[in-house]
Amino acid sequence: MKTDAWLARYERLERHHEGHDDDLAYFKRIFDEAPAAYVVTRATHLIVDANSAAQRMFNWPLDQLRGKPLNLFVATSGRHIFRPLVRDIEAAADSVVRPLSLGPDCETGKDVIFSARAMRGQDGNVEGITGSSSSRFSPEILTCCNPATRVKNEPFRVSSEEGFL
């Protein structure tokens, strides 16, 4: 009798879990297919996930983006404000909105309005940061370093259809 009750409970839990897997897959698909570029980091500022638009925008496949520091994609001209921005995001209860210059390892980047918030665990500690931008990159070729090859002055294509960060 105990085995039957245990088995019935296990089957209920399994059905409940399957529903969550479907929901997770649905939201993952929305994240991946969004026209806006989204990047998710750990509290250590290392990238753990990025959607297709971010991969196209930075011209890096996801497996190469994972583990990279977020500041690699902040233009050199904006790096002096990046660390204080991250501290502000981690300290704020809500989203923080600031101008930021983005571009993969570029001397000069594209100015965007960056909105980000800290993701907190049950204990209240920051576990990661998620952010996006309200400005689109204009369709142009940015001359910068390609982070994959570290070759200066290599063209980096960004299209307005490819989203924003």
pLDDT by residue (tens digit) across 85-126?
888 888 888 888 887 776 655 555 666 677 788 888 889 888
Residue range 70-74: average pLDDT?
78
The rounded mean pLDDT for the chain is: 69
CA 79 remoteness from chain centre: 18
R_g over Cα of the chain: 19
16-26: pLDDT as tens digits: 666 677 778 88
